[in-house]
Chains A and B, each alone.
Chain A
Amino acid sequence: MHTSSEALDIGERTFIDQVIAGRAGHPGALLGVLEAVQDHNRRKYLPLEVLRYIAAKTGTPLSRVYSVATFYSLFNLDPQGDHTITICSGTACHILGSRNLLQSLRLDLGVDTDGAEEDRVRLTTADGRFTIRTVACFGQCTLAPVVEVDHRICGHVNERTLQREIRTLEGERE
């Protein structure tokens, strides 16, 4: 485990140590630790070295940590973009064309579709600006098709309004 802790800088290690110490002894502490550590990460993800460090510090088997981190869609193993756009693929949204929205968004942002699992899209643009995700349902079916832009729900979205949202986000940065 010596080499793995060397890959993390001191600040990150101290933070993880504090998080683990704050939750020591609680059953199911791993979930909370992973969540806090991911939230602390600038790119909102859990690099493998971090998982390795958490496993060593908490005495959890590596495979168990990996299993938990891949089971919950909350956790990301890849760096996330500055903005997250989540398209609902639930029944109502699907019927009202969410698949076309996803397709046009991929084309607009130029994201490669290779390697994406059909029912669970999680793609980030090469410049790290946008992440496209899908979700099974937001529970806002009356607003279908629903798209979530940086945790803000947008209802009755069509390709044009989606492009407008993207332009607004791009404008914010410049």
Chain B
Amino acid sequence: MPPKNVSIRIDGELISAREDQTILEAATASGKHIPTLCHLAGLTPVGACRVCIVEAQGTDRLLPACTTPVHEGMSVTTSSAKLARYRRMTVELLLVERNHVCSVCVSNGHCELQSLATELGVTNVRFAFNYPKLDVDVSHPRYVLDHNRCILCSRCVRVCAELEHAHVWEVRSRGIHSRIVSDLNAKWGEAQSCTNCGKCVQACPTGALAEKGRAVEEMTKSSEKITSLARWRGAEA
């Protein structure tokens, strides 16, 4: 049985959506823009970054648009002063957690965290920076993992598991001690399961995963290739 259509309101506009869609999918399909960070079309949404939060009528809680399914009669607001405040704070907290120094980053100018901060008008950060001393893994012959730039969006984890089926990456530990880890905490270059495909690098929104030999501002990524690969695989199946 094909999924039913439901009617929802997004920012007051009446929209028809399939009942198996999320708020984000329905909004994107009707040309609305909701800021996202950990979401990458084609990968399973996890709601890790909380940047895509929206207000829904009937609840005081803010809902992540990427993981909340639509339902009949739903009324959603995608931009308001409250949402802007929460989204800005989320990005500020991401910025203070590790060392996001754009001026010396390979992804400067092509970074989704940077453009999101610009889009949300994050001109300053009101919290103290953590300045953790984190490792940079250069053991892989072609790629670099810089934990200082990682925002734990888990896109690399998902792309590797879902599209490459290698499952090299996972998140270890909890809270502030969480790190991206390959195999049993192996150096990336020594991870047996890695196929060197580089999908994780293309999926990474920041400069945490990059190709070797790129200087500042030189690391451009094409996450849209991940999306089209996922679509193509989906159509094939």
Q: Which residues of A contact B (CB under 8 A)?
A: 48, 51-52, 55, 61-67, 70-71, 117, 119-120
For the complex, is B172 an interface residue (Cβ under 8 Å from A)?
yes
For the complex, is B11 an interface residue (Cβ under 8 Å from A)?
no
| Extra 4 A-B pairs, beta carbons < 8 Å, given A63-B183, A67-B181, A70-B172 | A55-B184, A65-B184, A71-B173, A119-B176
* In the complex, chain B residues whose CB is within 8 Å of the CB of A62: 183-184, 186, 192-193
Give the complex CA separation of A71 and B173 in angstroms.
4
Q: Which residues of B contact A (CB under 8 A)?
A: 157, 161, 167-174, 176-177, 181-186, 192-193
| Contact across chains for B169 and A63 when beta carbons are under 8 A apart | yes
Chain A binding surface, main DSSP class: helix
Q: How many A-B residue pairs have CB under 8 A?
A: 47
* In the complex, chain B residues whose CB is within 8 Å of the CB of A70: 172-174, 181
B142 to chain A: closest CB distance in Å? 19
* In the complex, chain B residues whose CB is within 8 Å of the CB of A63: 157, 167-170, 181-184, 193
Give the complex CA separation of A89 and B129 in angstroms.
25
| Contact across chains for B170 and A67 when beta carbons are under 8 A apart | yes
Contact A66 B167, CB 8 Å, known A61-B161, A71-B172, A71-B173: no
Give the complex CA separation of A73 and B91 in angstroms.
29
* In the complex, chain A residues whose CB is within 8 Å of the CB of B174: 70-71
* In the complex, chain B residues whose CB is within 8 Å of the CB of A52: 184
B132 to chain A: closest CB distance in Å? 12
B160 to chain A: closest CB distance in Å? 9
Interface centre among A55, A70, A71 (most CB of B within 10 A): A70
| Contact across chains for A61 and B193 when beta carbons are under 8 A apart | yes
* In the complex, chain B residues whose CB is within 8 Å of the CB of A119: 176
| Contact across chains for B172 and A66 when beta carbons are under 8 A apart | yes
Give the complex CA separation of A45 and B162 in angstroms.
31
A120 to chain B: closest CB distance in Å? 7
